[in-house]
């Protein structure tokens, strides 16, 4: 981190008006970030072969922490820096982070290693929940991200892009919520402009979290860019029960209402309601047992000193916007023909880059 501070101080970065970040989707910005994601991957395998970044240059790589998490700092030399969260690696620990798909409160603290706990507020809604695996990733990464932002600000940077592809995009959702809260309480400067590009990101939390995130980002400072042929934005698997509805709804007290009916209507409706309600509850318990407790024990073996939090049951993950959707056309389908043996063929940087080259130059965010 000291090396990063010296590097930033020596570069004497100053914001240029010509490079001002603006809300809304910017095709050139996202196309450049795809090049950055490909360069960050440290591989020449199929799906990552894109031109080198043109605007941004690598300034610093963080150490690998947590469950194989890492972030890179890129700068453009004109006042804008990009915090780029790495996606899933080939290591088992990285996949355990993805599969630790249970929901925990979006405000609280996490004992990562027996030291100072990670205290976080990602939503002001007490019903909001987020993916535990990616929250663990955020907790480890923010330990170096926050000092880096402090160094950037001291060096004159006031524009920050937060971004990541795949798992990196999922963590970037949580990072965005975390940093916006820190700016709101004065931990980060009020004039720090932050713009988020999640890319090919899966579902980071439940519906109350999504509502809060989308309401905070209605002016267009954050988006998730997805290829509609890509399956990764469709996960984690979600199971919704009547417990996931808002408190005022006709389903929560359905059993009480049914009991008030005369016989035999009460018996018939109770049987029908149970046939609908019990399978979802059973599925939720099964997912929670496997993805919560079993995967949690395996993940903990890679996290010395980690103390698992209480795991309230819940698997109602939802897609979280705002969204920029890339729709495959005939040219794309001719180049990327569905092949069940290549499960990531629509998920890596090349297919996204292919679609982006033909994407409209100007798209207005809703």
Buried b / exposed e along 221-248 (16+ C-beta atoms within 10 A):
bbbbbbbebbebbeebebbbbbebeeee
Lowest mean pLDDT among 46-50, 67-71, 130-134, 211-215: 46-50
Residue whose C-alpha is closest to residue 53's, from 23, 73, 25: 73
Contact 193/207 with Cβ under 8 angstroms? no
Tell me whether residue 363 is in a domain: no
Work out the average pLDDT over 203-220: 97
Q: Which residue has the higher pLDDT, 267 or 10?
A: 267
pLDDT at 13: 38
Work out the average pLDDT over 81-99: 97
Tell me whether residue 288 is in a domain: no
State pLDDT tens for residues 255-281.
777 777 777 766 777 777 788 889 999
Distance CA 233, CA 225 (A): 10
Work out the average pLDDT over 102-110: 97
Distance CA 212, CA 10 (A): 39
Of all residues in the chain, the percent with pLDDT exceeding 90 is: 80
Q: Which residue has the higher pLDDT, 175 or 242?
A: 175
pLDDT at 314: 87
Domain with residue 233: its CATH number is 3.40.50.1820
Contact 32/53 with Cβ under 8 angstroms? yes
Q: Is the pLDDT of residue 26 over 60?
A: yes
Q: How many residues does the chain have?
A: 366
* Strand duo 107-110 + 118-121: pairing: antiparallel
Number of domains observed in the structure of the chain: 1
State pLDDT tens for residues 296-348.
999 999 999 999 999 988 899 999 999 999 999 999 999 999 999 999 999 99
Q: Helix or strand or coil: residue 137?
A: helix
- The domain in which residue 16 lies consists of 2-239+308-357
Tell me whether residue 67 is in a domain: yes
Tell me whether residue 293 is in a domain: no
Tell me whether residue 298 is in a domain: no
Tell me whether residue 260 is in a domain: no
Tell me whether residue 226 is in a domain: yes
Tell me whether residue 364 is in a domain: no
Q: Is the pLDDT of residue 56 over 70?
A: yes
Q: Residue with structure tokens 């029908």? A: 272
Distance CA 353, CA 31 (A): 7
């Amino acid at each position: 981190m000291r090396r990063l501070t010296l590097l930033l101080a020596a570069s004497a970065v100053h914001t240029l008006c010509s490079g001002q970040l603006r809300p809304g989707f910017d095709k050139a910005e996202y196309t450049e970030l795809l090049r950055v994601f490909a360069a960050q991957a440290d591989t020449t395998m199929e799906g990552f072969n894109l031109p080198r970044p043109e605007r941004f240059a690598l300034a610093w790589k963080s150490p690998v922490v947590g469950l194989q998490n890492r972030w890179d700092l890129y700068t453009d030399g004109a006042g804008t820096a990009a915090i780029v969260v790495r996606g899933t690696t080939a290591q088992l620990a990285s996949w355990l982070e993805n599969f630790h798909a249970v929901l925990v409160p979006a405000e609280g603290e996490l004992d990562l290693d027996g030291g100072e706990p990670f205290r976080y507020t990602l939503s002001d809604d007490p019903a909001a929940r987020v993916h535990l695996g990616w929250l663990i990733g955020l907790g480890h990464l923010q330990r170096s991200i926050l000092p880096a932002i402090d160094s950037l600000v001291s060096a004159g940077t006031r524009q920050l892009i937060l971004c990541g592809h795949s798992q990196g995009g999922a963590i970037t959702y949580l990072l965005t919520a975390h940093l916006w809260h820190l700016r709101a309480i004065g931990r980060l400067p009020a004039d720090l402009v932050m713009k988020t590009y999640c890319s090919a990101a899966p579902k980071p939390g439940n519906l109350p979290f999504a509502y809060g995130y989308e309401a905070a980002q209605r002016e267009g400072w954050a988006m998730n860019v997805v290829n509609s042929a890509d399956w990764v934005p469709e996960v984690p698997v979600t199971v919704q029960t009547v417990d996931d509805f808002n408190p005022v709804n006709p389903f929560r007290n359905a059993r009480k209402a049914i009991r008030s009916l005369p016989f035999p209507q009460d018996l018939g409706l109770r049987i029908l309601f149970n046939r609908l309600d019990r399978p979802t509850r059973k599925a939720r318990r099964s997912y929670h047992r496997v993805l919560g407790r079993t995967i949690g024990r395996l993940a903990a073996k890679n996290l010395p000193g980690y103390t698992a939090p209480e795991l309230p049951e819940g698997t109602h993950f939802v897609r979280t916007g705002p969204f920029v959707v890339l729709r495959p056309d005939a040219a794309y389908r001719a180049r990327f023909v569905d092949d069940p043996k290549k499960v990531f063929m629509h998920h890596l940087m090349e297919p996204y880059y292919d679609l982006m080259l033909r994407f409209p130059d100007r798209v207005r965010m809703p």
